[in-house]
Amino acid sequence: MEKEQSGKTLDEQQDFTRGSIPVKMTKFMIPILGALILQAMYGAVDLLVVGKFGTTAGISGVSTGSNVINLVTFTVTGLAMGVTVLIGRYLGENRPERIGKVIGGVICFFLALAVILTAALLIFARPLAVLMQAPPEALDLTVQYIRICGGGIVFVVAYNVISSIFRGMGNSRLPLIFVSIACVVNIVGDLLLVAVFHMNVAGAAIATIAAQAVSVILSLAIIRRQKLPFTLKRSDVRPNREIHKFVRLGAPLALQELLTNLTFLALCAFINRLGLDASSGYGVAQKIVSFVMLILSSIMQSMSSFVAQNVGAHMEDRAKQAMKYGMGMGAGIGVVIAYLAYFHGDVLSALFTSDAAVILRSFEYLKGFAIEAVVTSISFSFMGYFNGHSRSLFVMCQGLAQSFLVRLPMSYLMSIQPDASLTRIGWAAPAATIFGILMCLAYYIHMNRQSAKIRQRQRNDEKRSRKAGEVNR
């Protein structure tokens, strides 16, 4: 079945207001997960190839440098989530004619942002590497990675914005195609530049940006052939009121991502002080962690789109059912991941390096982190639900509370112990998440009470209206 929308059509598969919730969410989530996995393979392949064909200092350089680039990428992704939610809301409200103006504003805003980010990364690459306390052997390599990736950050921004637009429309298949193209190019580029031409960190950075560029160019060519539920006119590509709307939704999420990832940069700096083996081991563990978190991130992203459509269509019960389904599915998968991380983290780490000392330190961190795979499924499902309700300000507040009240202080205290262990440092992540879950639960109860009061007032108003009508008759 298709739903008519001002001369355009919304495919039944992209309509989240009807049909089986588990089936719809799972079908939508799987391509998102695939895209996230492939996107994470950028950094993972860089680290893997440099680990096998480069140097230990190169591993640290890629690890520390990619943390800086991830800070930028995740911030842009958080800001672009406002676009996803706004488009989903307009589709749920049956107002697709607004989407063209949204995308026109998106083009103007994110192009200007990309120019600013490029200049900042090129100018401040060395101060950032020093601030990260990159080991002396890896300092120049870290600067090199940041500058090369910074020079091509416009393609990173473009990919994430294009993907957010299609996820807002309920289409998670095209982003998967885009990132699949990029992943293939990146793997070939890494093997050619690092393994064959021995360019070490520089080769890995060039391959990453080249892959993003190819992906964006081909994605634009693919989009031109798609039947879309909206029209985009040249007159739409200008600053407009829609910019304020998606920035208002996305800015709290972007600020949360920025500040949260700053705490991860601080954690990386804490660990860098423990030596090259600890720095490289943490870098390997973080790549494994990034894959672990992908399933849970895909749940949150799909939840935001799913809930936004249903909220726009005034189907709150369906939105709550989707949140509960996401929690259950994520927790079940998280248990399996936690088992692998805690008992077989050394096997996973050996995929990235053959250095026994680095493998040992990576496994050490994964043991402390393991339970995070379970508790984050609950946290991310809550956040997706709140994002879909445009409650991104609370999502930001609880995220910052997690980071600055628990994760950062606990990580620092564990890192300055005489017998500092990466396992104990790893405990900070699940401790922070559990704190955040308690905040989310309290806010969810508060939202329900607010909704109940509003419904009661509406019922009372209806009763008074009926009584007034009877008196008049």
How far apart CA 309 and CA 389 sit, in angstroms, is 10
- Residue 7's pLDDT is what? 40
% of the chain with per-residue pLDDT over 70: 95
Tokens describing residue 110: 């994110």
Grade residue 9 by pLDDT with cuts at 50, 70 and 90: very low
Residue 123 pLDDT greater than 80, yes or no: yes
pLDDT tens, position by position, 151-202 = 999 999 998 899 888 888 888 888 888 888 888 899 999 999 999 999 999 9
The tokens describing 384, both together, are: 């997706």
Strands (E), 280-350: none
Residue 7 domain-assigned (yes or no): no
Q: What is the pLDDT of residue 471?
A: 66
Domain contains 422: yes
- Average the pLDDT over 314-339 and give the result: 90
User: Around Cβ 471, how many Cβ atoms within 10 Å?
Assistant: 7
Residue 388 has pLDDT above 80, yes or no: yes
Q: Which is higher by pLDDT, 40 or 441?
A: 441
Residue 184 burial by Cβ neighbours in a 10 Å radius (0-12, 13-18, 19+):
middle
- Chain segment 353-371, per-residue pLDDT in tens: 888 999 999 999 999 999 9
CA distance 354 to 166: 40
pLDDT per position as a tens digit, 256-310: 778 777 777 788 888 888 888 888 888 889 878 877 777 777 887 788 888 888 8
**Secondary structure class of 3 (helix, strand, coil):** strand
Cα distance between residue 148 and residue 8, in whole Å: 42
Q: Within the chain, what is the greatest distance between any pair of CA atoms?
A: 90
For residue 377, pLDDT beyond 70: yes
pLDDT digits (tens, 9 = 90+) for 199-256: 999 999 999 999 989 989 988 888 778 777 777 888 888 999 999 999 998 888 788 7
Q: Tell me: the pLDDT tens digits for 130-139? A: 988 888 889 9
H-helix or E-strand spanning residue 8: strand 8-10
Determine whether 287 is exposed, middle or buried from the number of CB atoms within 10 Å of its CB (0-12, 13-18, 19+): buried
Helix (H) or strand (E) holding 4: strand 3-5
For residue 16, pLDDT beyond 80: yes
**Is residue 177 packed enough to be buried (19+ CB in 10 Å), middle (13-18) or exposed (0-12)?**
middle
Give the total number of structural domains in the chain: 1
Name the one residue in this structure whose structure tokens are 């298709």.
2
Percent of the chain with pLDDT over 90: 36
| Cα 256 to Cα 348: distance, rounded to the nearest angstrom | 30
Residue 468 to residue 77: CA distance in whole angstroms: 52
What's the pTM value of the predicted model, to 2 decimals? Answer: 0.68
200-223 and 21-53 helices cross at what angle (nearest 10)? 150
Residue 473 lies in a domain: no
The closest alpha carbon to 40, from 166, 202, 179, belongs to: 179
For the segment 65-104, what is each residue's pLDDT rounded down to a tens digit?
Answer: 988 898 898 889 889 988 988 988 888 888 888 889 999 9
What pLDDT band is residue 2 in, cutting at 50, 70 and 90? very low
- H-helix or E-strand spanning residue 465: helix 428-472
Is the predicted pLDDT of residue 5 greater than 60, yes or no?
no
In a domain, 2, yes or no: no
Residue 169: φ, ψ to 5° = -85, 5
- Whether 437 maps to a domain, the answer reads yes
Which is more confidently placed, 211 or 467?
Answer: 211
Range of the domain at 154: 16-255+269-459
Q: How far apart are CA 98 and CA 69, in angstroms?
A: 33
What is the DSSP pairing of strand 8-10 with strand 3-5? Answer: antiparallel
Which pLDDT score, from 0 to 100, does residue 42 have? 65
**Averaged confidence pLDDT in the chain:** 86
Residue for token digits 């990919």? 159
Return contacts of 408-413, CB within 8 angstroms, 24+ apart. 408/263, 408/266, 408/267, 411/263, 411/266, 411/267, 411/270, 412/266, 412/270
In a domain, 468, yes or no: no
Tell me the residue type at 282.
Answer: Y
